[in-house]
Amino acid sequence: MSELKHRVSRTCPECGSANLRQTATASAGAYGPVLLPGLGGFLHSAQLQVVVCADCGLTRFYADSNALAKLPRSSRWFAL
């Protein structure tokens, strides 16, 4: 969880609140889309770090550092 401290705003970009909570979750499950295709491991999906504003509900998702490290070599992702 500490990896977010260095790169994520500590205030909500929507309402400016500092009342934020964070957690981590898998980027894919049995019944949902694969949100970070090609960036997980052999038997597991990539992790998402999730930050939610406890005041307005804005929710932000961040690929974890392992997923980011795979991104430049992935054939599933293209630069905009």
Residues in touch with Zn ion (CB under 5 A) = 12, 14-15, 17, 53, 55-56, 58
> Closest separation between CB of residue 5 and Zn ion, Å?
19
Record the tokens describing residue 16, joined without a space. Answer: 């400016």
Of residues 55 and 71, the one with the C-beta less far from Zn ion: 55
Of residues 3 and 55, the one with the C-beta less far from Zn ion: 55
Measure Cα distances from 66 to 11, 14, 15, 57 in Å: 25, 28, 30, 27
- Pairing relation of β-strands 59-63 and 47-53? antiparallel
Of residues 56 and 69, the one with the C-beta less far from Zn ion: 56
- Pairing relation of β-strands 20-26 and 59-63? unpaired
> Closest separation between CB of residue 8 and Zn ion, Å?
13
